[in-house]
Structure 1
């Protein structure tokens, strides 16, 4: 008997040539999905056969009952809609279900269609191989163990096999326990202890006592391997509250810590201190082993050296990085700065030259170092009608526009991004133009930024709502390029967007901030629902930005950082003496804020090309960061 889904897909194949069809009501589909109304979804699937979004009800019909569907239904859907983001999404769901059913032959067939399988699916793939007594790929999973962080439960049978084969040993188990404690994941460390016989020292009761009073428990620890790890964990907990006390204890413990453990303790304390801009961070890191560091830890080694002004250490630490990491723009730029500071001019200029063809933060800084600013025309690139028609006819673009029209923004973005793969520069610019005409400003920027040789800066740095934004900036005596640069990063000009934290509108105002600003501006008739109104949002956002700019004496770095992370944090991150502005930015502890400040200020430099009195050089926006008064 032919399944319902297969019948639906057959009917859609027969209707593909239809020139007219009713548009799928996505709101009705959403309600049917929420109600798990499978008969209604099936009706919608049949009614929408042949139209661009026909796959969506079919996907939900399958996904909602994935544990019951027949393999032929899943295969029919995947074959009917190949190379689409929704098929890729369903394939991942279906692979997990096949693993749960232990249908390993089917799993391996579908797995081969994935481009970037998750760790969970890679572990299921190894389980599939083990099920047919093939252990040839087992060792390739060892790296998942050494990630040091919890991974999907699908990897546990793989880890079992690695331990049974001897590829992983008890020393490897203790290494991962140590990393779990280093990340303050005591419960995970306790779970891992099963790999080493579940020593009583690592019981839930003992771990709770140590976490509650690490100083008290430290004196009670013995010499077992478990106690060694607990001693390091206690020192880490103490260091999080009182770094100086932890440093004294490491010194006082002396021979109670092996040389290896001493160096690890200094490493953990130094890295924590570096993230808090502690003045002793660099000294403590100098006593450390500096082994088994992930990329974020390696970055903080660099930042601690920058903060200390130790350019020799900056050079050494960057050159010690793995080649793949060392080649990233951040490290290349700071290596050039280290060379420049140490009078290695030729080496510095060679790196600056390699970065100077970019339009990002490091590209702009490098151009200024060389004195060769790239020209940015504000004349739009002229597209021909054929290019526009070609892109507008792409199925993924059609789906994205339809989804966006009905408010399915997340799904629209997925479709759009997927459709942009492998497009030429002119096709990307045509797509950007099409998105802008449909007020999908975020997707327009996404497409325009992907060009390699042919650029259109009016699409990369658009100015929608120009009258409202220019007026708000002028009213508060703000540089309009800065306001545009901030909005581009905050909302990508999507006026009704809301973040997970409930920030809203073009300038992403939090409800409490909006209420405070409304009071300051004496907007007596302000209502919370007004926050996404373009005129109101930009006027309130500009007032808030100007308020903190005045508090920070016009320093755009501190103001921008404060807009994102709060003014208290922006103040706290200053040093006891004057700071190079680029070092302040690079050593911002919050990765989101660090990236935000770089992008907002480089955006502003690009937007400055629209305004004769605005600074196009990034360095003109980077004022020295003064110490606290």
Structure 2
């Protein structure tokens, strides 16, 4: 391929061959990438006009921003701050901000002129780069640090920053306020110290109250019972504002509820049902507590108090219907469940299964005209993304794609882009793109069935349903064979290289390096074997196995003591929001893929007819 040959010639210094090949590629979509590499060798102020021309000509490409960034960095190295300011947006880089301010200071600006910008840079809960030392010193010496500004930074650092920085900032507080540094340091090291009778000297309640709030919130997520006792013991020691009290009570309730501590129900019963009523997370855990205790009448009462947007959610409509059903309002419950059963959704599938109705796919292709499809397909970004995708340069392809999406003006254009990505086999990009348009019914794009044969073959080997393997892939990678997570998991089923090394030996799976995990058949075998292991480790419970695939077996073992409940209630009570949502999605996607494969699946029947939790899972 001429483009690859041109890159190779340029890298080796064979400029004659390079220029000849480059000339033949002027109409090729990736021609700007050759020019970009040339300009990276010419990042000098004297080439400003050429750099500006590229940035202007290819403003629709991420290359323009990339070149601008590299030019800014080089101008900083060359100390050409006069030019740098023409390209740089203040606030993007603290080091550059300080270098520019130092340049301005050297060239006639007074420290008072720059005080506002310096103050913004100083007032962060972390140490700034050494480039800032000079201007900070001059600002402190000539202007001084206002006590309110100093306390603001101190307070943020106490919550988010290091103890070392906290001790440094003590010098900027008024002398009679500096005692709080020692209190903060002790509370950060051991939040339980606030329970000591003499810990708070009661000199300044406004300064001491945030320490109690911080300590109790941190303690709550470590030792719930201790936090609760400390709160009862200390809450009258320091006058607290209502917002401080609410902050502590909210955290305590969430912490207690996630572990099914009986004190969470006591708090709810203490005339707190309508407290934090606009808070989605608190309301979820109110529901979980009430479900665990089968408080059906209270669930209906809570539902009546919710804001309209929460009442209209499928989750709340479903559980309100179940509460109605349990309290004799069977007609009202049946009506709601019937409406939900028409939906392609976790709660819709629960409702349909309860009513013994078939689950629905509800596929409707995204309505995109051929003219729109052609217009989007012919855009420069899409042409470049296509070539980069085919060259397996996925990071660059994704950058071009994101840049293009920013320029689209209608949902139809976004849906057209999703169809294009899907047609290339860039399935995860198709899924992510169509989601931006808010169109949910094109199940061809949203739930691809590529690599179906590999899933079916592997399902037979591990004796698990192929639709489960496909559902896990859909949730793990959005069905992206080339996906790499920030944590370093690879491919369709997001397999870690460390797992792959073990499994390659154990099951004789060909594997030499992590790039092998981008091969669908290898990734599917690795991921399927891992799911099989979790399934058998956890007494063949598909909910446990899926949760362990996401959060690890040790998490499930931690959650077991929180009680045994009907499986649908156990799922609703999973402590981690991420894992709770993960389970609901994987089970829903499993059912969807069963419909697409034309096979039966009983996972929602399992959810409705079994109990989960409490028992010991064999090693």
TM-score by length of 2: 0.68
CA drift of 1:585 comes to: 3.8
The alpha-carbon distance between structure 1 residues 380 and 518, as it changes in their structure 2 partners (threshold 3 A), is same
Across the aligned residues of Structure 1 and Structure 2, the Cα RMSD in angstroms comes to 6.1
Please tell me whether the aligned partners of residues 266 and 287 of structure 1 are also in contact (alpha carbons under 8 angstroms). no
CA drift of 1:469 comes to: 0.9
The alpha-carbon distance between structure 1 residues 257 and 338, as it changes in their structure 2 partners (threshold 3 A), is farther
- The residue aligned with 1:23 is 3
Distance in 2, Cα, partners of 1:94 & 1:588? 49
- The residue aligned with 1:52 is 29
- The residue aligned with 2:203 is 224
- Stretch of structure 1 that moved more, 437-446 or 63-72: 63-72
What aligned pairs does 1:275-314 form with structure 2 within 5 A after superposition? Answer: 278-281=261-264, 283=266, 298-309=279-290, 311=299, 314=302
Distance in 2, Cα, partners of 1:152 & 1:145? 8
Q: Give the counterpart of 2:382 among 384, 389, 397.
A: 397
The alpha-carbon distance between structure 1 residues 259 and 450, as it changes in their structure 2 partners (threshold 3 A), is closer
* Structure 1 residues 350-373: Cα deviation after superposition (integer angstroms, max 9, x where no partner): 999998887554665677799998
- The residue aligned with 2:472 is 486
* Structure 1 residues 332-361: Cα deviation after superposition (integer angstroms, max 9, x where no partner): 334434643564989999999998887554
The alpha-carbon distance between structure 1 residues 102 and 596, as it changes in their structure 2 partners (threshold 3 A), is farther
Q: Give the counterpart of 2:463 among 457, 471, 477.
A: 477
Distance in 1, Cα, partners of 2:252 & 2:557? 24
* Structure 1 residues 604-624: Cα deviation after superposition (integer angstroms, max 9, x where no partner): 222111233323985665665
The alpha-carbon distance between structure 1 residues 247 and 426, as it changes in their structure 2 partners (threshold 3 A), is closer
Please tell me whether the aligned partners of residues 339 and 347 of structure 1 are also in contact (alpha carbons under 8 angstroms). no
Distance in 2, Cα, partners of 1:619 & 1:538? 26
CA drift of 1:476 comes to: 2.3
* Aligned partner of residue 573 in structure 1, secondary structure: helix
- The residue aligned with 2:549 is 563
TM-score by length of 1: 0.67
* Aligned partner of residue 598 in structure 1, secondary structure: helix
Please tell me whether the aligned partners of residues 6 and 21 of structure 2 are also in contact (alpha carbons under 8 angstroms). no
* Structure 1 residues 145-184: Cα deviation after superposition (integer angstroms, max 9, x where no partner): 99x9889999xx9xxx9xxxxxxx9789868866765568
* Structure 1 residues 407-440: Cα deviation after superposition (integer angstroms, max 9, x where no partner): 2212212322443464777766664554344332
- The residue aligned with 1:607 is 593
The alpha-carbon distance between structure 1 residues 435 and 316, as it changes in their structure 2 partners (threshold 3 A), is same
Distance in 1, Cα, partners of 2:57 & 2:67? 12
For the pair shown, which has the larger CA radius of gyration, 1 or 2? 2
Please tell me whether the aligned partners of residues 214 and 238 of structure 1 are also in contact (alpha carbons under 8 angstroms). yes
* Structure 1 residues 472-501: Cα deviation after superposition (integer angstroms, max 9, x where no partner): 112322221111111122234444544343
The alpha-carbon distance between structure 1 residues 171 and 362, as it changes in their structure 2 partners (threshold 3 A), is farther
The alpha-carbon distance between structure 1 residues 364 and 64, as it changes in their structure 2 partners (threshold 3 A), is farther
The alpha-carbon distance between structure 1 residues 272 and 104, as it changes in their structure 2 partners (threshold 3 A), is farther
Q: Give the counterpart of 2:507 among 518, 523, 547.
A: 523
* Structure 1 residues 176-210: Cα deviation after superposition (integer angstroms, max 9, x where no partner): 8667655686567667767754843354x765444
Please tell me whether the aligned partners of residues 561 and 570 of structure 1 are also in contact (alpha carbons under 8 angstroms). yes
CA drift of 1:447 comes to: 4.2
Distance in 2, Cα, partners of 1:180 & 1:294? 31
Please tell me whether the aligned partners of residues 397 and 415 of structure 1 are also in contact (alpha carbons under 8 angstroms). yes
- Corresponding position: 1:509 with 2:489: no
Distance in 2, Cα, partners of 1:229 & 1:453? 45
Distance in 1, Cα, partners of 2:128 & 2:379? 37
- Corresponding position: 1:256 with 2:244: no
CA drift of 1:567 comes to: 1.9
Distance in 2, Cα, partners of 1:621 & 1:531? 32
Distance in 2, Cα, partners of 1:274 & 1:191? 39
Q: Which runs of 5+ in 2 are unaligned?
A: 102-107, 110-115, 140-145, 291-297
- Corresponding position: 1:409 with 2:394: yes
What aligned pairs does 1:158-177 form with structure 2 within 5 A after superposition? Answer: none
The alpha-carbon distance between structure 1 residues 64 and 613, as it changes in their structure 2 partners (threshold 3 A), is same
What aligned pairs does 1:29-178 form with structure 2 within 5 A after superposition? Answer: 51-56=28-33, 75-87=52-64
